[in-house]
Structure 1
Amino acid sequence: MIQQIYPQVQHNYVFELNKDMHIAAAHFIPHEDAGKCQQVHGHTYFVNITIAGDELDESGFLVNFASIKKLIHKRFDHTLLNDHHDLFSSTDSNYFPTSEGVAKVIWEIVQGELDKKMNKPNCVQVFVRETPTSYVVYRPKHKEGAQ
C-alpha cells in the first residue's frame, strides 16, 4: 500500500488509530448533473478511518484493526455501491454513492459498531480518495458534551 498523507482532525482524546484500506468498487450517480458519472464506472478507493478515545477495551485495543477492515472492506470491496439499497439511495441526494455519500455511510457504519463498545471510542474522520486528484473528508459534528 502506498503511504498517503491525509488531513488530521483535532481532538482531545488520549488515543487515535487510523485504518487504511483500498476498496475496488463500481458506482454511478443517479442525477443528470453528474455528467458521464451517470454511467457505471469503477474506482480503487483509498479509505482512511480515524477513531479516537480515552479508554482501551478488555483486550488492550482502542478498536481491533481487523474488525474495522472486516466491517468496511468485506462489505464493499468488488461490489456495485448502488446495489447496497440499505445504505445508498437513488432519490435522496444525501445518500447517493458519491465520494461524500460513501464517506458519510462508512462513518455511520463504523460509529454504529463503536457505539456498542464499552470503551466508547468515536470515529472522528473518514477520508475517501476516489482518484489520485480527488478526495473527500467527512467529520461528524460534535455531540453535545462530547470532546
Structure 2
Amino acid sequence: MMMQQVYPAARHDYCYELNKDFHFAAAHYVPAEEAGKCQQLHGHTYYVNVTVAGDELDSAGFLVNFAIIKQLIHNRFDHTLLNDDKESFNDAAADYFPTTEVVARTIHEIVQRHLDGTSNKPQCVQVYLRETPTSYCIFRPKRKADHDEGS
C-alpha cells in the first residue's frame, strides 16, 4: 500500500492536473567508477508519482486514464534488470545509465509519447521517482517556448 504523500508541485497554467502514484521493483547497476557501490548489481522498490496536466478532457471525460499511466511503466520495468532495457538504457553513455535521474526522465518520455498520441494531448509536467526512503529525483521537462511570442 502506498502512503499518501504531498509532492512538490510542478508549475503550469493548465485547468486540470492528474497525479498517479504506483511502484515497481527493479534491479540496476551504474557502470561508472564514480558510482561506488552502485556499480554492483542491486535492487530497489521505486515509488513513482506522474503528474499530467491539460485543458481538454478525452471522450471518456478523462485527462488520461489512471490505469494507462501505471501500465506504461509498471508492465515495462517491474521485476526487470533496467540495464537490459536497451531501448532506454545503455552502458556506454552516462545520459543513458539507469540512474534515478535517467529513469525519471525515461518515465517522462514514455508517458509523453503516449499522451502525444491522444486526442486531447495533455502534458506530463513532472515525474517524481523515489529510489530509497531517503533519496528521490524529480524530472520536469523544459517548457517549450511559444513561437507566437513577440509576434
TM-score by length of 1: 0.97
Corresponding pairs, count: 146
> Within 5 Å, which residues of 2 pair with 1:86-125?
86-125=87-126
Q: Distance in 2 between matches of 1:132 and 1:4?
A: 13
* 1:15 alignment counterpart: 16
Q: Which moved more, 1:22-31 or 1:4-13?
A: 4-13
- Deviation above 4 Å: which 4+ runs of structure 1? none
Provide, for residues 23-61 of structure 1, a one-character-per-residue CA deviation record: whole Å limited to 9, x for no partner: 110000011110000000000000000000000001110
Provide, for residues 89-108 of structure 1, a one-character-per-residue CA deviation record: whole Å limited to 9, x for no partner: 11111111000000000001
Provide, for residues 39-87 of structure 1, a one-character-per-residue CA deviation record: whole Å limited to 9, x for no partner: 0000000000000000000111000001111101111011000000110
Q: Distance in 2 between matches of 1:129 and 1:3?
A: 14
Structure 1: unaligned runs, 5 residues or longer: none
Provide, for residues 98-147 of structure 1, a one-character-per-residue CA deviation record: whole Å limited to 9, x for no partner: 0000000000100011011110100000000000110000000001229x
* 1:138 alignment counterpart: 139
* 1:72 alignment counterpart: 73
* 2:82 alignment counterpart: 81
**What is the aligned-residue identity percentage?**
64
Task: Indicate whether 1:29 and 2:4 are aligned.
Answer: no
* 1:6 alignment counterpart: 7
Give, as a single letter, the amino acid of the residue that structure 1 aligns with 2:12.
Answer: H
Give, as a single letter, the amino acid of the residue that structure 2 aligns with 1:40.
Answer: L
Larger radius of gyration: 2
Give, as a single letter, the amino acid of the residue that structure 2 aligns with 1:26.
Answer: A
Q: Distance in 2 between matches of 1:6 and 1:83?
A: 30
Q: What is the Cα deviation at residue 4 of structure 1?
A: 2.2
Structure 2: unaligned runs, 5 residues or longer: none
